[in-house]
Amino acid sequence: MRRGLMVSALGLAAIVAAGLFVTRAAPVDASAFDSLTGDAANGETVFTAAGCASCHAAPEATGDAKLVLAGGQRFGSDFGTFIAPNISPHPEAGIGSWSLGDFASALKNGVSPDGRHYYPAFPYTSYVHMTDQDVVDLWAFWQTLPEDATPSQPHKVGFPFNIRRSVGVWKQLYLSDDWVIANTPTPELERGRYLVEALAHCGECHTPRDALGGLDRSQWLAGAPNPTGRGQIPSLTPDDLTWGPTEIAYYLETGFTPDFDSAGGHMVAVIENFAKLPASDREAVAAYLKALQ
Amino acid sequence: MKKHLTFAVALAALGCGTAAFAQDDFSAQLKARQGQFRIMAINLGILGGMAQGKMDYDADAAQAAADTLVAVSTIQQGPMWPEGSDNMSIDGTRAQPTIWEQNDDFLSKWSDFGTAAQAMQAAASGGVEALGPVMGQIGGACKACHDTHRAPAN
């Protein structure tokens, strides 16, 4: 009896230990990144395609002010309100004291330098697909950005979502470096997949989420309720989005739909970014969307 | 006393007026303001179609389209946007309450459309190459306003 109790206790401890191990905040292997040399020019393209400034610039910032990543924009969700932090290169208020490994761990694993999980409002489940070279290039570009001393504000998230450890469990379910579309037979489709699934993180809004807030990849880009207000984020599947490839590319460049309505909401920021990318990137996104089944 | 009575009657009249106002479904205003955007889209379609090479460039048709955009930009907006005709108050509109909460911003963005439309009016008959950049300016004005003041479609 006593022995049985011992075994049970040991078993429980083992389960707890295994659970803590599995849900720990694990950084990336920094050595993979340290051996690469950063190219700030490509880093700027990555920065634009990944839309960093769209969320981390100050609210209402426009033009060059968007390069000041002071944070402060608010993002409502079913789990609380997330407030984008200061990620400018300021050593105290921002991320100026980070190493390249810290930056890579944040982007690809959603892990902070002090070993905590980030909430997935930060789209690391998309950035996990980012190539190591692009991470290094992005970090090189980061060093050219202006510092800002605005302090980050805490997220407004209630129990139980304020237990960061629970994000470790969530990551076990939803953080995967598997692509949604496994086969990309042409370089254009591969680039389109990289833009849609990794950098531009289109699925974060255009794919519906399940009860735990994870993307339902079986309904990839099939449209979803608008998380921050009324209305519906449209479906991009070929059955629903009947625009031709040139029409999709033109929309990403100008914001005009084929019947010359114009984009609104968060898509405005997305188009502002896509308009700065090469035409071939907009065409690659169109090709990827047309290839969806 | 008489003065008080006048005041009371005026107040009552005002009350009735407000009540009638609140019951209004604003369908006329919605049709008017949505119609003006439709006119804009149709004429932008002509200019954009030429800019994209989907249709042959025709200087007269381009000029007429640009003139129409300018004409729309001169329609006075106030009467079409009564208080209470936002998407939180009534159905059939995507107009966000921010239009009324930040009305100066809304009107300044509408004015930016007018500026862009005038740029198109100056450029439209000057050859197809001129259309693309000004389309970009007009698109920028549309998006800047829709960013804040229009809700996504249902």
Tokens for A130?
């980012």
- Contact across the interface for A264 and B135, Cβ inside 8 Å: no
Chain A residue numbers with beta carbons less than 8 Å from the beta carbon of B146 are 262-265, 268
pLDDT value of position A19: 77
DSSP state of A224: E
Candidates A246, A259, A264; nearest CB to B45: A259
Task: Give yes or no for residue B16 having a pLDDT over 60.
Answer: no
b/e string for A217-231 if b means 16 or more Cβ within 10 A? eebbbbbbbbbeeeb
Residue A260: closest C-alpha in chain B: B41
Asked if B151's CB is within 8 angstroms of A264's CB, the reply is yes
Question: What pLDDT, on the 0 to 100 scale, is given for residue A124?
Answer: 97
Residue indicated by tokens 């090189």: A140
CB contact under 8 A, A262 and B52: no
What single-letter amino acid sits at A177?
D
B35 touches chain A (CB under 8 A): no
Radius of gyration of chain A (CA): 20
Contact B45/A at CB under 8 A: yes
User: Distance between CA atoms of A270 and A54, rounded to whole angstroms?
Assistant: 8
* Closest CB to B143 among A230, A259, A268: A268
Check if the beta carbon of residue A41 is closer than 8 Å to that of residue A140. no
CB contacts of A250 in chain B (<8 Å) are 52
Nearest C-alpha in B relative to A272? B140
In this complex, which of A260, A262, A272 lies closest to B146 when CB atoms are compared?
A262
Instruction: Name the nearest CA neighbour of A123 among A189, A205, A182.
Output: A205
Nearest-CA distance B133 → chain A (Å): 10
CATH code assigned to B27-149: 1.20.120.10
Query: B23 CA to chain A: closest CA distance, Å?
Result: 23
pLDDT tens for each residue of B98-154 = 999 999 999 999 999 999 999 999 999 999 999 999 999 999 999 999 988 998 886
Numbers of helices and strands, H then E, in chain B: 6, 0
Q: How far apart are alpha carbons A49 and A125 in whole angstroms?
A: 16
pLDDT for position B15: 44
Rounded to 5°, the CA angle A136-A142-A147 comes to 155
Angle between helix A40-50 and helix A132-142 axes, rounded to 10 deg: 100
Beta bridge partners of A209: A215
Over residues B79-98, the pLDDT tens digits come to 999 999 999 999 999 999 99
Q: Which long-range contacts (CB under 8 A, 24 or more apart) does A42-45 make?
A: A42/A134, A42/A137, A43/A134, A43/A137, A43/A138, A43/A139, A43/A140, A43/A141, A43/A142, A44/A141, A45/A277
Higher pLDDT: B2 or A8? It is A8
Min Cα distance B116 → chain A (Å) is: 14
Q: Using CA coordinates, name the residue in chain A closest to B34.
A: A261
User: What's residue A5's pLDDT?
Assistant: 67
A77 membership: H or E segment, kind and range: strand A74-77
DSSP output for B1-49: -HHHHHHHHHHHHHHHHHHHHHH---HHHHHHHHHHHHHHHHHHHHHHH
Higher pLDDT, B25 or A250: A250
Q: How confident is the model at residue B44 (pLDDT cuts 50, 70, 90)?
A: very high
Closest CA to A164 of A20, A13, A14, A17: A20
* Cβ–Cβ below 8 Å for A246 and B52: yes
Q: Could A255 and B154 be called an inter-chain contact, meaning their C-beta atoms sit closer than 8 Å?
A: no
Interface test with A, best of B101, B143, B145, B149 (most A CBs within 10 A): B143
Is residue A132 within 8 A of residue A206, CB to CB? The reply is no
- Residue ranges in chain A assigned as alpha helix (H): 2-22, 31-34, 40-50, 52-56, 100-104, 124-127, 132-142, 165-174, 187-193, 203-206, 245-254, 267-276, 279-291
Contacts of A115 (CB under 8 A, 6+ apart): A24, A25, A27
Length of chain B: 154
Tell me which DSSP letter residue B90 carries: S
What is residue A78's predicted lDDT score, i.e. its pLDDT? 84
The reply to whether residue B150 touches residue A264, judged by beta carbons under 8 angstroms, is: yes
What global pTM score does this model have? 0.85
Judging contacts by C-beta atoms under 8 Å, the chain A residues touching residue B153 are: 231-232, 234
What is the residue extent of each domain of chain A?
27-174, 187-291
Contacts of B144 in chain A (CB under 8 A): 268
What fold, for A187-291? Cytochrome Bc1 Complex; Chain D, domain 2 (1.10.760)
Position B17 confidence tier, pLDDT thresholds 50, 70, 90: very low
Between A and B, how many CB-CB pairs are < 8 A? 69
B120 Cβ neighbours under 8 A, 6+ residues apart? B47, B66, B69, B70, B131, B134, B135, B137, B138
Tens place of pLDDT per residue across chain A (293 aa): 566 666 677 777 777 777 777 788 889 999 899 899 999 999 999 999 999 999 999 998 988 999 999 999 999 888 899 999 999 999 999 999 999 999 999 999 999 999 999 999 999 999 999 999 999 999 999 999 999 999 999 999 988 888 899 899 999 999 999 999 999 999 999 999 999 999 999 999 999 999 999 999 999 999 999 877 677 899 999 999 999 999 999 999 999 999 999 998 889 999 999 999 999 999 999 999 999 97
DSSP symbols for A20-52: HHHTS-PPP-THHHHTS---HHHHHHHHHHHTH
> In terms of Cα–Cα distance, which of A133, A104, A118, A129 is closest to A28?
A104
- Does this complex have an ipTM over 0.95? no
